[in-house]
Each structure stands twice: as structure tokens, then as C-alpha cells.
Amino acid sequence: MNMINVVSTDPRPTDDVWIPSSCSVCYGTCSILAHRVDGVVVKIEGNPESAVGKGRLCGKGVSGIMTHYDPNRLTRPLRRTNPKKGLSEDPRWQEISWDEALDEISAVLRKVRAEDPRKLVVQRTTTVTASRVLFQTFAAAFGTPNLSTSGGGLHCGNGAHLISGIMHASWSIVPDFEYCNYAIFFGASKGHAAGHASCSNMGKAADARARGMKMVVVDPICNFAAAKATEWVPLRVGTDAALALAMCNIMVNELGIYDGPYLQAKTNAPYLIGPDKLYVRHPESKQPLVWDTRSNNAHPFTEVAAADMALEGEFTVDGKRCRPSFHCLRDHLRKFTPEWAEKISTIGAATIRRLAKEFGTEARVGSTIVIEGVTLPYRPVAAIAFRGSQGHLNSLYNFYAVDLLNHLVGAADVVGSCLGFNPASHGHPDTGKLRYIPSADPDGLMVSGMWMGYHYPYPPSEPRLPTNIGMQDLFVLGMISPFLDSTDREEMWERFDFPYRPEVMVNFGANLLMSIANKEAVAASLANYKFMVSFDLFLTETSNFADIVLPDCSYLQSLDSRSNFPFLFNLPAGMGEWCWPIRQPLLPPDGEQRQCADVLLEIADRVGFRADLNAAYNASLNMQAPHRLDRETRYSYAQICDAELKNNFGPERGLDWFKEHGLIKWKKKPEEVYWRPFVDVRVPIYWEFMLPIGAKIAAIAEPRGLKIPMEYYEPMPDFLPCVSHCCQKPDFDFYAFYYRDVVHTNSFTMENPWLDEAARLDPFSYTVAINAAEARKRSLHDGQLVWIESEAGRKVKGRLKLTEAVHPEGLGIAAMCGHWSDGMPVAKGKGVFFNELLELDWEHVSPANMSLDLCAKVRVVPVEVAS
Ligand code: SF4
């Protein structure tokens, strides 16, 4: 590591400095040191001072220079001169001045805000995490609830974040790598070059494997995580719940392994469930009742010692037969035998039994460990899931079933177990700011202390007649919605008598056309907007539908008082340090590039809602006097960043202090990291709240002709098939799925020449992985050009790569390749556009959380035969 020589970040004609900042090539936001020589950034390294990345950078982070210096970057505002919008329409761009651009944008927004602010849709990419504050405040101040992150959420997190929030008060989950001895990953790459806290977790996972942690990866493809695992368990795409439920059944019903004291004290396992599947409640206080084994009677859960709460038995309360929810769950699990799960998942029953036994035994139920003088429960096992398992119709139950493995043995937020990302913080020692801790709702169930999504994961809102175009106010368990762009969106809006339609879009860097589903569906939606403005680095497929394109600054030219969303999102879990890094501009804008944060402030001024925007910033950043923004003052974004930093860390630690130091950090305490024994909250192993939500949604939707499949609203998880599992067409014998290639972030890094070169060297990045034996049975060969055709008749072309490392029924394709925009010439024409195979309608969306079904039953046809 070179010496850090921190000086002013003003570019000079001659300089030689290392400047601390934050990567933004993916949402990992690892802390970086950038070496600037004579005004040119010549190298980027990880910042070893930071807990975010821990001094590491991935290949994408190292290559960020090439994205910044790409000659295809936009440098001037552009106006479309061709009024027609379509996939084959040339926008006929014309360069215009910023004044012209902002005049036009402001006039449109002023008119829409006066008519009905909900006609504005705000889209943003998930890649730039810090943009969340900018665009949520802008949307809130403008008055629109219609905010989206295109493919993010809809593909990756509608289930994962919801359930991590309900069960761990966190955005996501990860093994406690320092102490975990046995981790089982269901369609997740955390710690293996992707996911939250990516670079930090890579080091932690590698150390854990070297220490001897057994790592089992359940995945249809053996690539980034599975290739480093102790054991790869290939399964049929989308059947994760079948395996997890069978493992739960073996542990509880065959081996009798579960953590009774944890279930009694920290979950709703003792709550009595009546014949209507709902809690039996106290007639006056309405608290859920438990059976007190000491008095042999039912009492509210707050009035009985946890150790005296019955977990099993049949009781009569007020004439109703009832059982503790654990008893219900135990009975429910019996039907998920390993033999049943084998038929669904293709994993052998003996393997399922062995995995359950290994997991249950290694959990060491009842054991404790001392960490920094504090005695804590020790459960060194973790089951985690992410995009792969939850991106299906059965999104909720897939993830819920996986996480039940943890909760049955008490392996949740204690030493060695499945951890949320920092759900409890006692705040900075000097200011006490950034303090948040989960709390209990009236039923004793956990409410997150902090959240960053569309709504808190629990308690769910009351479903109501929807007025948001994504209908999250009806489907209250969903965050990001397909109904902004779905082929049946107009039918949906008519069904619910929507009083308005989306007319204007403000887009920040999201490439919707590539990140959601088939391009015809999304193009039809985009073409319908009367006006669209897009902040972009390049002319993407999506910006070609805009009316005005604004040249944004790259992360090496941008300022952010928070590099990501602290601390639920990207700070590594486990012991270590709290760490708040900033991002600072190392280079000036090129041409007329401007950072979107400042442009949004100017638009608010021109449209006339600056006061509302300042108020929204105060609310979003939890600003306290004297740092609260004055309603009428015109602040620059740098001034807002300065105010936020002083608000959190004291008046002496404003923007100048952070520009010099790059970050602030302080030590985590065991009571923060392993918070579960110290906070009196319970989590639901029985989701009683699902039934009333489903009933209320059905009461609104069904009179309007939308049938709600109630099997998705049951309180205990099940395996429910994807559309692809039900396909009966002959010859359609493969399940196409996509995976996230670790050399790429979403779709935009394919324009980066170093990453493109790395992808071309990788035999799989731009090809279609097919099981070698299955290919040979069909006389298909390595490198063969084929059509992959979905049962709905959608087709993509790609070259086959034969391998043993994919399930016999699987076709694995790296996500979001196949660009076609001339504005990204390096990326254009490379790889296979998987999303073209995805339908975008009600039938292909989870009726519970609106997660899109991300697999398709396909057939493979050689190009020469097809032609
Ligand atoms: S993991 Fe993401 S944030 Fe970290 S170095 Fe790589 S691209 Fe940058």
C-alpha cells in the first residue's frame, strides 16, 4: 500500500495525492483511495482504514477508472427531436444548453404538479445507493408516491428484504463468518464477490472457509459461491422451499432438534392459535394468549414467564380448541417428507436428511460463548437466501422456509448464527446519533429500528383501494412493483378506477428496458410517457426513450455525505467497527456534466417547491436543531451534506473534516452485534398477520374481478410452483434462469473495456451454460449457436457452453447482457439478453409480494434447424 497523502481535493495542474472516497461501481460502496497525478486518477485501491471493504476492491472497483474516462460519456444536455418513441426509432438528439433543458423540464413539472403530482414517476438505479435520499426526498416534496427502482427489488429484494426485515430487522442476512461453522446458502452469493458489504464479506468468508467453516451451496449452477463451497447441492430452479421445509421437518419431527427456550422467549411459538388459524386473544387487552404450564391456564403473553409457556398441547380457551403456534407448525411440517422434496427439487432424500442432521447438530442448541466478557448464546450455523431463491412466484415462502431453519434452532442474531446487517446501534459515542433499536408492537412482534424501503416490513399497512400506480397500497407486502410497466397495467388501473395515469418520468441511471422483463413490454410503457428526463452517464437503451437527457457526473466527480445507506445495507455484520465513509469529487466535471443532486435542487427552485424539499431533507436525514434546513433558504448540495455530517457527528466534523479523513469509525459492542438477547422483541415463526391481509386484499380486489389466490396468504410456508413448473409443452425441457456475473454490475459495466475483456475471457459470461451430458443427448455441442424459446414464444439467441457445473434441467445465463444501444459501443451485441424470456403480467407475479417470476421453461433449437 502506498502512503496516504491526504491534501485538498481541488484538481491542480500538478499534483500527486491519494484521496479517500467511495466506490460506486456497484451498491457495495467499498471505501477507496484514489491516486491522482497531475489531475488524472491513475489508480484506485481499497482503503484499509475502512470497515466498508476492509481495504479490498473487486475487479469492477479497480476498473472504475475506465468507466469514468470512457469517451462515450455524455457531456452535454440533449433534446430529442424525433417525437416518435420506439425500439427502432432514432431520437435524433440535439445538444442544448442547461438553461434550455431546465426551463423545459421545469415547465413540464410545474404543470404536472399543479394538475396532479402523482402523474410523476421517479425511477432510480440501485447501483448508486446514495441516490436513495436524493430521489425519495424529491418525490416526497413533489407529492408523488410513485417511486421505483426498476429491476432492483422486483428481481432481487421484494422477498429477501421483507423477510430479513420481519425476522432480523435488517435489509439482508449473512452468516456470522467469524464464528459460524456451518453455512448453507440458497441462491445467494454473499461473501463471494457479490451482494451487500461485498468486498468485506469476501475476506470474511475466505477466512471462515480457511478456519474450517463448512459451506453448502444450494443452487442450480456451480459458479461464484458454489465453486468455493465444501459441497454444491444442485436443485431444480425455484424449488428452494421444498428442500428447506423438508429439512425443517427432519430436524423438528425426526431428530427432535429445536431450541425450546429461544422459541418461548423470542418468537411467537407459544401464542395460541384457534380453529380460524388466528391468535386467541384476551377479550379486553386483545393481547395474544399463551398457555401457562404453571397455572394451567391461558394468559396474555406479557403475564407469563417465557419458560412456563407451552410450546405444544391442545387446550380449550373460552370454548375454543387451540394449540400453540409451534405445535401447528410442527404438524404442518410433517407433510414435507424428504421423499416428497426429492420429487420437487431433484435432491435425493438421503442428502436432504444428511443436510438437516448436519445443520441441526452443528447448531449446538443450548451452548454459550463469552465475547469480550459478555456471555452470549452460541449457535454456529446459518441458512441464508437471496436473489436466486426468492425471485419466483413463491418468493415469500421460499425465503421464509429457509429462515425458519435458523429460528428453529435459535440461530438468529447471536454468535455464529444468521445475522442481520447491524439491526441495532447504540449511536456514535460523542453524539448518541444514529441510535436505533428494534422495538415490539402490541403483539410483542419486532418492528425494525430503521428501514430504507418503500414501507417498514412489519407491521404491514392496511390494504386499501390502490391509488399508487404500482398498487403497493393494495399489495402491502410488496415494495417494487411490476405494474408500472406490465402488459396488463392499464387493465389493472381501470379495474381499480385509478383517477390518473403516469405522464412524466424522471429517471436516474436506471436502464428499465434491460432490467425488468421482455423489451417489448417495457418499451410500450416507456413510449406512453408524455415526457421523460433521464440523468445518465451514457445513452442507454432506456435513455433513448427520453425527451431530455442530462449528462451526470461519475462517482469520481460526485459528493455524497453518505456513501450508502447506513448501517443496515452495506456495513459488514459481526464484530468490528461502525464506519461512515463519504464520497467526494476527485475530478471536475467534463464538458457540461453536473451532479444530479445539485440539478434536483435547481429544478425544485424553478418549479417552486424548494421549501418542501428542504422539509423532506430534514425528515429523511433526521436533522435536529441547529442543523435543520431552513424552509426558504437556497442550499447547495454541499451545504446539505455538511449539515447532515455535523448533525450526526458534532459541529467540528463537517464536510471539510470528512474530506480530509474520508470516514469516521468507532468500535461495535457485543450487545449491538448480538442484540437479540438484550432486546425484548419476538419474531413470527407463524405469520398470523397473513390471513387478514389476504382477506382484506381479496375483499377489495375480487369484487373488481381480480381473483386473489389465498394459498399465498397462509400463515405457514409451503412450496408453490412457478409458472415454468406447470408447463406441459413437449420439448420444453429446460428451465432458463439468470445469475449475476461478478464481473458486472447490473447492465452498465458491460461498457467498461477492462470488464468486457474479463467477461470475454470467461467462458460463461456471454454464453449459455448447459449441462454437458444433457447437451450431448440432444446432439448439441460446445459453441453452438441456438435459439432459446420460451413457452410463450419469446426467443433469444446465444452460444452454448457445455459444463458439468449446471443442473441437468437448467440453462444458466449471466444477467442483463445483450445491449443494443449505439451509445454503449463496447457493450453492444455482447452476451445474451435473458430478460427477453420474461413475461410481465399478473400471472407471472407473486400475488403476495409482487416479486417477478424469474425463470422460464424453454426449448433449445439449433439456429440452422430453426432457420
Ligand atoms: S464490490 Fe462494488 S463497491 Fe466494492 S469495489 Fe467492487 S464494484 Fe466497487
Ligand 1 atom with minimal separation from the 198 CA: 1
Distance of CA 828 from the midpoint of ligand 1 (Å): 23
| Closest residue by CA, ligand 1 atom 4 | 30
Q: Is the pLDDT of residue 127 over 70?
A: yes
| Calpha distance 674→663 (Å, rounded) | 24
Query: Residue 285 pLDDT more than 80?
Result: yes
C-alpha separations of 474 from 93, 123, 461, 464, 481 in Å: 40, 20, 9, 5, 11
Ligand 1 and 26: CB distance under 6 A:
yes
Nearest to 150 by CA among 748, 809, 666, 687: 748
Least confident interval from 331-345, 398-412, 450-464, 517-531: 450-464
Cα of 30 vs centre of ligand 1, distance in Å, is: 5
Evaluate whether 589 touches 556 at the Cβ level (below 8 Å). Answer: no
Cβ(28) to ligand 1 under 6 A?
Answer: yes
Q: What tens digit of pLDDT does each residue of 318-377 get?
A: 999 999 999 999 999 999 999 999 999 999 999 999 999 999 999 999 999 999 999 999
Q: Return the pLDDT at 633.
A: 95
What's the confidence (pLDDT) of residue 194? 77
Mean pLDDT of 746-751: 90
How confident is the model over 853-865, as a mean pLDDT? 93
Is 29 near ligand 1, meaning CB less than 6 Å away?
A: yes
| CA 277 – CA 572 distance, rounded (Å) | 38
Q: Is the CB of 61 under 6 A from ligand 1?
A: yes
Instruction: Indicate the top mutation candidate among 57, 570, 579, 583 to test ligand 1's pocket, ranked by most ligand atoms within 8 A of CB.
Output: 57
* Degrees, nearest 5: CA angle 802-808-813: 55
Give the confidence band of 865 by pLDDT, cuts at 50, 70, 90: low
Residue of 848, 839, 814, 856 whose CA lies nearest to 399: 848
Q: What is the mean pLDDT of residues 292-315?
A: 98
- Dmax over CA atoms of the chain, in Å, equals 85
The residue that leads in pLDDT, 710 or 816, is 710
Does residue 183 contact residue 161 with C-beta atoms inside 8 Å?
no
CB of 65 sitting under 6 A from ligand 1: no
Map out the domains of the chain with their CATH numbers: 78-157+480-551 (3.40.50.740), 724-866 (2.40.40.20)
Give yes or no for a contact between 691 and 714, defined as CB atoms under 8 angstroms apart.
yes
Range 241-250 average pLDDT: 98
User: If we measure between CA atoms, which residue out of 487, 598, 595 comes closest to residue 537?
Assistant: 595
| Residues 344, 720 contacting (CB under 8 angstroms) | no
Show the DSSP H helices in 7-97 as ranges: 59-62, 64-68
Q: What is the pLDDT of residue 388?
A: 87
Alpha-carbon torsion (782, 784, 790, 794), positive or negative: positive
Query: Which pLDDT does position 12 carry in this prediction?
Result: 58
Ligand 1 closest atom vs CA 53: 4
The pLDDT score that the predictor gives to residue 4 is: 44
Residue of 52, 58, 745, 750 to mutate, ligand 1, most atoms within 8 A of C-beta: 58
**Residue 3 pLDDT grade (very low, low, confident, very high; cuts 50, 70, 90):** very low
Phi, psi at 639, each rounded to 5°: -65, -35
Q: Give the distance (Å) from ligand 1 centre to CA of residue 69.
A: 18
Whether ligand 1 lies within 6 angstroms of the CB of 23 is answered as: yes
* pLDDT (0 to 100) of residue 476: 96
Pairing mode of beta strands 425-426, 435-436: antiparallel
Residue 454 — pLDDT band, cuts 50, 70, 90?
low
Atom of ligand 1 nearest to the CA of 26: 2
Checking if the pLDDT of 132 tops 50, the result is yes
Helix, strand, coil tally for the chain in percent (to 5): 30, 20, 45
CA of 800 to the centre of ligand 1 (A): 29
CA angle 701, 702, 704 (to 5 degrees): 70
Q: What is the pLDDT of residue 365?
A: 98
| Ligand 1 atom nearest to CA at 194 | 1
Burial of 129 (0-12, 13-18, 19+ CB in 10 A): buried
pLDDT value at residue 516: 95
DSSP-derived pairing of the beta strands 531-536 and 504-508: parallel
589 alpha carbon to ligand 1 midpoint, in Å?
Answer: 22
Cβ contact 266:676 at 8 Å = yes
Residue entry with cell 468500535? 667
Ligand 1 atom index nearest CA of 56: 5
| Any ligand 1 atom below 6 A from CB of 129 | no
866 — pLDDT class (breaks 50, 70, 90): low
Report the separation in Å between the CA atom of 396 and the middle of ligand 1, taken as the mean of its atom positions: 28
Residues 685, 576: Cα–Cα separation, whole Å: 30
pLDDT (average), residues 749-770: 96
pLDDT digits (tens, 9 = 90+) for 836-848: 999 999 999 999 9
Q: Given pLDDT bands bounded at 50, 70 and 90, which one contains residue 783?
A: very high
pLDDT above 90 as % of the chain: 91
Q: Is the CB of 556 under 6 A from ligand 1?
A: no
Task: Give the HSE-up count for residue 182: Cα atoms under 13 Å, Cβ half-sphere.
Answer: 17
Q: Work out the mean pLDDT of the chain and round it to a whole number.
A: 95
* Ligand 1 binding pocket includes 25 (Cβ within 6 Å): yes
CA distance 635 to 839: 45
Would the CB of 44 count as within 6 Å of ligand 1? no
Least confident among 70-84, 190-204, 348-362, 372-386? 190-204
Q: What pLDDT was estimated at residue 192?
A: 84
Contact 393, 853 (CB under 8 A): yes
The helices-and-strands tally (H runs, E runs) of the chain is 26, 35
Q: Is 47 in the pocket of ligand 1 (CB under 6 A)?
A: no
Task: Indicate whether residue 191 lines ligand 1 (CB < 6 A).
Answer: no
579 lines ligand 1 (CB under 6 A): no
CA of 534 to the centre of ligand 1 (A): 24
For residue 64, is pLDDT > 80?
A: yes
The three cell numbers locating residue 592: 457540461
pLDDT surpassing 50 at residue 6:
no
Q: How far is the CA of 569 from the centre of ligand 1 (A)?
A: 14
How far lies 780's CA from each of 405, 729, 809, 862, in Å? Answer: 40, 20, 14, 8
Whole-angstrom distance, CA of residue 153 vs CA of residue 746:
13
Q: What are 377-391's pLDDT values in tens digits?
A: 999 999 999 988 889
Q: Which residues, including other chains, have CB under 8 Å from residue 478's CB and lie 6 or more apart?
A: 158, 470, 471, 472, 846, 848, 849, 850, 851
Cβ neighbours of residue 19 under 8 Å, at least 6 residues apart? 6, 9, 33, 34, 36, 584, 586, 662
Ligand 1 centroid from CA 57, angstroms: 6
Cβ of residue 199 lying under 6 Å from some atom of ligand 1: yes
- ∠511-189-201 over CA atoms, to 5°? 105
In this prediction, residue 748 carries a pLDDT of: 87
* Residue whose C-alpha cell is 418499451: 523
